[in-house]
Amino acid sequence: MDWTFIQEYIPMYVEAGELTLTIGILGIILSILIGMIASAIEYYKIPVLRQIVSIYVELSRNTPLLVQLFFLYFGLPKIGIRWSSELCGIVGLSFLGGSYMTEAFRSGLETVEPIQKESALSLGFTPLETMIDVILPQALAVTVPSLVANVIFLIKETSVFSGIALADLMYVAKDLIGLYYKTPEALSMLVLAYLIILLPVSIIGTLLERRLRYAGFGN
Amino acid sequence: MLVLAIDAAREPAISILFRGNNFVRLLGGLWVTIRISMISAVLSIPLGILFGIFMMRKNPAAKAVSRVYLDFIRIMPQLVLLFIVYFGTTRAFGINLSGELSAIIVFVLWGTAEMGDLVRGALSSIPKHQYESAAALGMTPMEINIYVIIPQTLRRLIPLAINLITRMIKTTSLIVLIGVVEVLKTGQQIIDANRFAFPTAALPIYGVIFFLYFFTCWPISLLAKYLEKRWKN
């Protein structure tokens, strides 16, 4: 191990890690928003939109992110839609993540028995109150574990951004291997960088799951 | 020659697929992807079953070892694992692994970990009273496993294992980044070779690759969903 080399190139990894994280976080926030809207459409069985949601979910879940990104980044500019690789990364990640989040929210909402909704409505709750005070807290307990799993999955998926020339962690590692042939150093820093990013998320997720394991009425 | 090129440019870009054997080449590229994922799946399912049973052992050392293995494999992006095997082994051991072999090694390591965790989950989801009731009925431990535990475990396990196969096919798309010539690389080659005749070829080619992946994975996902529903309870 060449420690001076490692010291010299830590800033490059920090910068790349920041880029990975920024795009990852933006993508995750958008995915959660898409997931909320799409699962609400499915829950309230809104016609037409519901069919669109199910087509979207199937398309996005059954194709790899790298192929989606290639289409967005190399394909779409040919019909005049040009975007930077950063924007493309965010859009691609949200397209992929949105469907995973939809499934997570949907499975949460499904576990709440219909009797919960009916009882709340007959007690005089408005539909909005029923949703916020009765259904969501119970659904959340089921959703959080898969939500956390999805967040980790999406951060891991950002590693394919190097395929569309984004200077992320993979890109830096590959660069250092190609330029200086410092393979062990570059790879150890790469592993370390992902551990630093992902371990806390995984630990917070486990703690959160324990805190929320309270619901489960009506079954 | 120039006239020819201009004429060709007027053709819709999608017709590039029907030029020569372009579409067959793409299918050939897809086959490379599918073959690698199938080899990895076939190897990692039995290994994963063994690993899952190993994880159920009460021995603290066995638990610690399997925990570290599972967590490391799960937390690292698969592309990082590919880089470690593809670039790392060359330096560390001086052996030169081909991209395909590195991919199979990584997907078997990853598939074994994921499959093992599914097996462990399925085994521990069997309530204790199933063992006890079977024993109370006078079944031997062997009979308990064969007639009571394994059939129930399989019903929970098979849909999840099928889903793992689709994940494996999707993940195999990454191998283009370590230089394996598969469907995306073949697509790039077709686009580059026709840069002048079909300047907008990237759109239909990547669109077709998108749907090739979709029509490979979607039926498998549907099967998993169907089995899951059918075997519920």
Q: How many CB atoms lie within 10 A of CB B193?
A: 15
Q: Which domain holds residue A111?
A: 3-211
Please give the mean pLDDT across all residues of chain B. 89
pLDDT score for A15: 93
pLDDT score for A137: 86
pLDDT score for B1: 45
**A-chain residues near B205 (CB < 8 A):** 75
Query: Is A111 inside any structural domain?
Result: yes
pLDDT score for A215: 52
Nearest to B177 among A61, A75, A163 (CB): A163
Verify whether the Cβ–Cβ distance B203 to A75 is below 8 Å.
yes
Q: Which residues fall within 8 angstroms of residue B158, CB to CB, at 6 or more apart?
A: B227, B231
**A-chain residues near B171 (CB < 8 A):** 64
- B142 to chain A nearest CA, in Å? 34
User: Taking an 8 Å Cβ-Cβ cutoff, which residues of chain B contact chain A?
Assistant: 13, 71, 75-80, 83-84, 87-88, 90-92, 166, 170-171, 173-174, 176-177, 184, 187, 191, 199-203, 205-207, 209-210, 213-214, 217-218, 221
Q: Which domain holds residue B154?
A: 2-230
- Residue ranges for chain B with pLDDT beneath 70: 1-10, 233
A187 at B interface, C-beta within 8 A: yes
Domain count for chain B:
1
Query: Is A150 inside any structural domain?
Result: yes
Between CA B216 and CA B32 the distance in angstroms is 13
Between CA B72 and CA B145 the distance in angstroms is 31
Q: Which residues fall within 8 angstroms of residue A64, CB to CB, at 6 or more apart?
A: B170, B171, B173, B174, B213
Q: How many CB atoms lie within 10 A of CB A122?
A: 8
Nearest to A71 among B80, B87, B210 (CB): B210
Give the H/E segment covering residue B160: helix B150-172
Whether complex ipTM tops 0.90: no
Query: Is A149 inside any structural domain?
Result: yes
DSSP letter string over A20-38? Answer: HHHHHHHHHHHHHHHHHHH
Helices (runs of H) and strands (runs of E) counted in chain A: 9, 0
**B-chain residues near A174 (CB < 8 A):** 83
**In this structure, what token pair is assigned to residue A45?**
């069985």
Q: What number of C-beta contacts closer than 8 Å exist between A and B?
A: 112
- What are the pLDDT digits (tens) for A35-74? 999 999 999 999 999 999 999 999 999 999 999 999 999 9
CATH number at residue B108: 1.10.3720.10
Please give the mean pLDDT across all residues of chain A. 90
**In this structure, what token pair is assigned to residue B105?**
């090694």
Judged against a pLDDT cut of 70, whether residue A217 lies above it is answered with no
**B-chain residues near A154 (CB < 8 A):** none
Query: Is A219 inside any structural domain?
Result: no
Verify whether the Cβ–Cβ distance B77 to A156 is below 8 Å.
yes
Amino acid at site B206: Y
- B64 to chain A nearest CA, in Å? 17
pLDDT score for A78: 87
- B-interface mutation test, from A159, A174, A199, most B Cβ less than 10 A away: A159
- What are the pLDDT digits (tens) for A147-182? 999 999 999 999 999 889 888 999 999 999 888 888
Query: Is A217 inside any structural domain?
Result: no
Query: Is A216 inside any structural domain?
Result: no
CATH number at residue A120: 1.10.3720.10
Domain count for chain A:
1
